Copies of this chain bind each other. A is one copy, B any other.
């Protein structure tokens, strides 16, 4: 495939990258999330991602930023692109179990609860409004906002919200073998809870069955005055589904070819039925020269922390495909 599925025609002079950090208790359910060496540790991954991107190393826990199978975490890719572009990223804390180790624009949300057992995001409407204000604030700093996220377990909440909003979605996973049955089981329980409650407002759907990132991301898109690119796969698709349900503008998506190619999911079809445009980035990790990155092509990791959108940003800022590939490889090798 081409490096970019099509070249975005976006006019901008001040680009900004923001990454939303969020937790859902679902990531601690064994089997749901691959974003951490143990289920309990998955909740720290957004914090470590942000620390890696800002500081270029993970002081606070002594981890290597690679998966157990030696795939680089996608935050490494995001870091390499932001370094290449000279962009100082902003992190937004949507709701976490633990305190981040880098400064964040904090909307003072709570970590998402297990949506099978009660409201996942009781303050969904309030943090949507806080997200709007965050978006207005960022409008003073940029006219293009590439918005990524790091929410372990978030593809499962995305499945719940997309289904509850009526989309025939199947969602991606950072595992090679997507734990589809386990996600479906969670989803059946959550969709049943949404149906019983009789809600129709999409923020009520997030309240019952989503995660804090969704409400905050939707708010930021509403509050930001310039162009927004939602950098991510099915999780960002769920944000667009929420925005559509609210009657607000949607934002185009940017994600990796590895998400589109995931046969266990149906990203492209759901994007089409939501009506959201999408760009797909194929950085050619099969030939880049790192065995861990090559595993992305076999369906491992695939995307995360806005990596696909960060690559797209570098490209539209004028960096060549080879400059981009070379920056990714050298950053990945520096963490080996």
User: Which A residues fall within an 8 A CB radius of B?
Assistant: 14, 16, 54, 88, 90, 93, 99-108, 130, 133-134, 136-137, 139-142
Contacts and interface: CB of A to CB of B under 8 A. Distances in A.
Given A101-B108, A103-B130, A104-B106, A90 B16 contact: no
B137 A140 contact: no
Given A16-B140, A140-B88, A140-B141, A103 B54 contact: no
A306 to B, nearest CB: 17
A141 to B, nearest CB: 4
A106 B136 CA distance: 17
Contacts of A108: 99-101, 103-104
Residue with the greatest number of chain B CB neighbours at <10 A, chosen from A14, A99, A106, A130: A106
A106 B93 contact: yes
A103 B99 contact: no
15 contacts: A16-B140, A88-B136, A90-B137, A99-B108, A100-B108, A101-B108, A102-B133, A103-B105, A103-B107, A103-B108, A103-B134, A104-B106, A104-B108, A140-B141, A141-B141
A54 B136 CA distance: 12
Nearest to A106: B106
A292 to B, nearest CB: 29
A99 to B, nearest CB: 5
A2 B54 CA distance: 46
Contacts of A16: 140
A49 B133 CA distance: 17
A88 B141 contact: no
Contacts of A88: 136-137, 139-140
Contact of A103 (B14, B101, B133, B142): B133
Contacts of A104: 105-106, 108
Contacts of A90: 137
Residue with the greatest number of chain B CB neighbours at <10 A, chosen from A90, A105, A136, A142: A105
Given A16-B140, A88-B137, A88-B140, 12 more contacts: A14-B140, A88-B139, A99-B108, A103-B105, A103-B107, A103-B108, A103-B133, A103-B134, A104-B108, A105-B105, A140-B142, A141-B141
A272 to B, nearest CB: 34
Contacts of A105: 103-106
A137 B141 CA distance: 9
A329 B20 CA distance: 40
A93 B93 CA distance: 13
Given A133-B54, A141-B140, A103 B106 contact: yes
A99 B14 CA distance: 32
A103 B134 CA distance: 7
Nearest to A55: B133
A103 B137 contact: yes
A279 B130 CA distance: 35
A16 B137 CA distance: 11
A65 B140 CA distance: 28
Contacts of A140: 14, 16, 88, 141-142
Contacts of A93: 106
